[in-house]
């Protein structure tokens, strides 16, 4: 159907050129012998005119093809965002996998996110989970290479790089920590209205605030100044995320509750954990958040 449309567009542009050629030919044939020189002039003048129109045709077709391609990408992105909002992870992954060779950063970071979401699903086996985790990083890296100014590419590169660290050991994971934070900060700089970037920065702070002593020793061996953070800093980022987009993510509610727990503010902890528990699950992660919130709330009742 797209091919038919392009052919029709081409026909509409080619036909006026054909008429121009026919008109020039007719003028030449009707010219008398006494006007041969003039006829030759007319014919010679027609050549650059036709060449110009041919170049214009190419440019118009090129612009039409570009507009069509952009329109198609926008349609794919709309479908992808709809599937993501519905929690249709497997369908989303299948859709975007068709565009794994795309030059569009928007397609590639969404594919990275879809791979990661699929890896989190409970029915996915250990080997497939690992494969999807590495594929997610690969697509996020490609997205970043295609468009360094894409905030989401920075965000999902940071997330996927952190995920890969789970397979490569504590030393690698801690070693990547500053790189992860830099990309998250760049994402926030490019789009200060993205709640997820603030959430992940909060998660980064929370992870280092609760870092076990043996991992702190590893960090001290890698860096002259190892990464440090507090639960208060983590909470500030979670709060900022909630301020930007209230109730946008079940895990942000959960992490706020956990941060308050670590700060011994039990009343606020219970309030946020309750909100996390009552969040309507849309995907596998939401279900995991619900379970963790229920388990944590039991501790307050014990």
165-183 per-position pLDDT tens digit:
999 998 898 899 999 999 9
Residue with the bigger pLDDT between 30 and 59: it is 59
Mean pLDDT of the chain: 83
- Residue the block writes with tokens 């008398």: 32
Residue with the bigger pLDDT between 149 and 214: it is 149
CB 276 within 8 A of CB 294: no
- Read off the pTM: 0.73
- The angle subtended at Cα 97 by Cα 92 and Cα 160, nearest 5°, is 80
Q: Residue 269 corresponds to which tokens in the numbers above?
A: 């902890």
> CB count, 10 Å around CB of 249?
20
- 154-164 pLDDT tens trace: 999 999 999 99
Q: Residue 221 corresponds to which tokens in the numbers above?
A: 């061996």
- 264-284 pLDDT tens trace: 999 999 999 999 999 999 888
Sequence-ordered alpha helix ranges (H) in 192-301: 195-209, 213-222, 231-244, 250-262, 266-278, 284-301
Find the radius of gyration of the CA atoms of the chain. 29
Give CA–CA dist 209/215, Å, rounded.
Answer: 11
Q: Residue 86 corresponds to which tokens in the numbers above?
A: 């519905």
């Amino acid at each position: 159907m797209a091919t038919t449309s392009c052919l029709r567009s081409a026909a509409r542009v080619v036909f006026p050129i054909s008429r121009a050629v026919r008109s020039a030919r007719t003028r030449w044939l009707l010219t008398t012998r006494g006007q041969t020189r003039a006829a030759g002039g007319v014919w010679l003048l027609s050549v650059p005119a036709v060449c110009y129109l041919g170049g214009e045709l190419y440019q118009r077709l090129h612009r039409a093809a570009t507009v069509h391609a952009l329109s198609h990408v926008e349609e794919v992105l709309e479908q992808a965002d709809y599937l993501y909002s519905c929690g249709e992870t497997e369908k989303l992954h299948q859709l975007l996998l068709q565009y794994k060779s795309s030059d569009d950063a928007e397609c590639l970071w969404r594919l990275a996110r879809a791979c990661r979401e699929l890896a989190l699903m409970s029915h996915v086996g250990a080997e497939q989970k690992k494969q999807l985790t590495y594929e997610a990083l690969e697509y996020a890296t490609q997205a970043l290479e295609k468009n360094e100014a894409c905030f989401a590419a920075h965000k999902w590169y940071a997330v996927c790089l952190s995920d890969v660290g789970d397979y490569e050991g504590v030393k690698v994971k801690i070693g990547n920590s500053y790189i992860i934070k830099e990309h998250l900060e760049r994402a926030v700089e490019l789009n200060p209205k993205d709640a997820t970037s603030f959430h992940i920065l909060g998660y980064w702070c929370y992870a280092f605030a609760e870092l076990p002593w043996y991992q702190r020793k590893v960090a001290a061996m890698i860096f002259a100044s190892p990464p440090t953070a507090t639960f208060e800093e983590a909470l500030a980022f979670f709060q900022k995320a909630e301020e930007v987009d209230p109730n946008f993510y079940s895990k942000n509610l959960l992490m706020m509750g956990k941060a308050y727990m670590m700060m011994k503010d039990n009343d606020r902890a219970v309030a946020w954990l309750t909100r996390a528990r009552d969040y309507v699950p849309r995907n596998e992660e939401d279900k995991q958040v619900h379970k963790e919130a229920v388990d944590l709330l039991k501790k307050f009742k014990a």
